[in-house]
Amino acid sequence: MMRLQGACVLIGQTQTMNSVHTKLRRRFKQAVRDLRGFRKAIAALISTDHPLLAHLIPVRRCNLACKYCNEYDDFSKPVSTEVMFARVDKLHKLGTSVITISGGEPLLHPELDQIITRIRRHGMIAGMITNGYLLVPERIKQLNHAGLEWLQISIDNVIPDEVSKKSLKVLDKKLQILAEHAEFHVNINSVVGGGVHNPEDALTIGQRALELGFSSTVGIIHDGQGQLQPLGELERRVYHAMKALEKRSFTRINAFQDNIALGRPNQWRCRAGARYLYVCEDGLVHYCSQQRGYPAIPLEKYSLEDIRREFLTEKSCAPHCTVSCVHQVSIVDSWRAPQRPAPQTTEATGLVEIK
Ligand code: SF4
Ligand code: SF4
């Protein structure tokens, strides 16, 4: 009995030491990433001729089927690793600062770690958006080793329902193992709008994220065209309470989303196609996940000329857009280079064409 107790104490001590070790490594990596991020921010201010963020899709298939989502299917094969390498190399050539791997569910790609390592070898910052279902301790350690720098999980509700199975009840265990093993930054995004039954769930999720040492953000679910779904009274209250939580966790205050919550349009210059690229599984560059179909130029042919044209092209969908990552990227250039309306060609007027 005494021996058994001794063994338990020893296991407990080893786990605590491992956890302290993971936390120290996470802090060290965070400091290095902040320094690299600072250098990339300076480069962004100096020149507008390169993308700051690209979303790259290695597989369109997803293991879930959220009702509001138009970014997945249940049959696509993963893009071959060689092709993904060529896309990463091309994004590096274009001067991209950050690549976020998303999907579908990116963890369904069998050689995801090699793609992450390729991004890091080029000196770009590597992030990933996942539903978290496939995370286990061993997989998290592999992602540490591959060089993943930040990860975001979006959690939609506390109890799974017919709209979404990305719920705290199912994912809390995954969050705990992330807190224990991940050496990368973890952000938990919760959402309001879009048919989420209990808006107050977002607060429960945000508080749990902070409790585990993660950052927490809140998004407003957009419709099929990335446009505003006006929030009800309770949703607005929850949204503002969440924004207060974000401030405590030092997450960027997003004035754009504050306006969206109030149903007001935003005046801003969307730099999609220039500072932000969405590269689909077919290797085409689109404005964003909600404006697939334009400019739809193959990445291998994407040039400085395309970047310069799109930087100056006004996006008619901008006033009610809810795609927050493009908002945030575009802030860098909000003070310069006014845009002009898109040329009235067939392609430009048929802007929304999600396949
Ligand atoms: S987990 Fe993400 S990609 Fe998959 S269906 Fe849900 S929202 Fe879409
Ligand atoms: S404004 Fe920009 S980011 Fe928003 S939907 Fe339109 S193209 Fe996409």
Q: Looking at this protein, which amino acid is placed at residue 326?
A: V
**What CATH number is given to the structural domain containing 258?**
3.20.20.70
Q: Looking at the domain assignment, is residue 350 inside a domain?
A: no
From 55, 60, 69, give the residue whose CB has the most ligand 1 atoms within 8 Å, as the site to mutate: 69
Q: Looking at the domain assignment, is residue 2 inside a domain?
A: no
Distance of CA 241 to the CA centre of its chain: 22
Q: Looking at the domain assignment, is residue 337 inside a domain?
A: yes
Phi, psi of 57 (to 5 degrees): -105, 110
Ligand 1 center–CA 201 separation, angstroms: 18
Ligand 2 center–CA 255 separation, angstroms: 16
Q: Whose CA is nearest to atom 1 of ligand 2?
A: 318
Q: Please report the pLDDT score of residue 163 as a whole number.
A: 84
Whether the link from the prior residue into 106 is cis, omega within 30° of 0, is: no
Q: Please report the pLDDT score of residue 32 as a whole number.
A: 86
Q: Please report the pLDDT score of residue 48 as a whole number.
A: 94
Phi, psi of 296 (to 5 degrees): 55, 45
Q: Please report the pLDDT score of residue 335 as a whole number.
A: 87
Distance CA 264, CA 141 (A): 44
- What range defines the domain where residue 70 resides? 21-341
Q: Whose CA is nearest to atom 7 of ligand 2?
A: 287
Distance CA 282, CA 299 (A): 9
Q: Looking at the domain assignment, is residue 272 inside a domain?
A: yes
Q: Please report the pLDDT score of residue 11 as a whole number.
A: 58
The domain tally of the chain equals 1
Q: Looking at the domain assignment, is residue 355 inside a domain?
A: no
Q: Please report the pLDDT score of residue 186 as a whole number.
A: 96
Q: Please report the pLDDT score of residue 355 as a whole number.
A: 42
The pTM (predicted TM-score) of the whole model is 0.87
Q: Looking at the domain assignment, is residue 334 inside a domain?
A: yes
Q: Judge whether 314 and 342 are in contact, CB under 8 Å.
A: yes
| Residuewise pLDDT in 10s, the chain (355 residues) | 555 566 656 656 666 677 777 888 888 888 888 888 888 888 888 999 999 999 999 999 999 999 888 899 999 999 999 999 999 999 999 999 999 999 999 999 999 999 999 999 999 999 999 999 999 999 999 999 999 999 999 999 999 988 889 999 999 999 999 999 999 999 999 888 766 678 889 899 999 999 999 999 887 776 555 556 677 788 888 887 887 776 554 344 467 777 777 778 888 999 999 999 999 999 999 999 988 998 999 999 999 999 999 999 999 999 888 888 898 899 889 889 889 888 765 454 444 444 4
From 257, 290, 325, give the residue whose CB has the most ligand 2 atoms within 8 Å, as the site to mutate: 290
Ligand 2 center–CA 224 separation, angstroms: 12
Q: Please report the pLDDT score of residue 266 as a whole number.
A: 86
Q: Looking at the domain assignment, is residue 256 inside a domain?
A: yes
Q: Looking at the domain assignment, is residue 12 inside a domain?
A: no
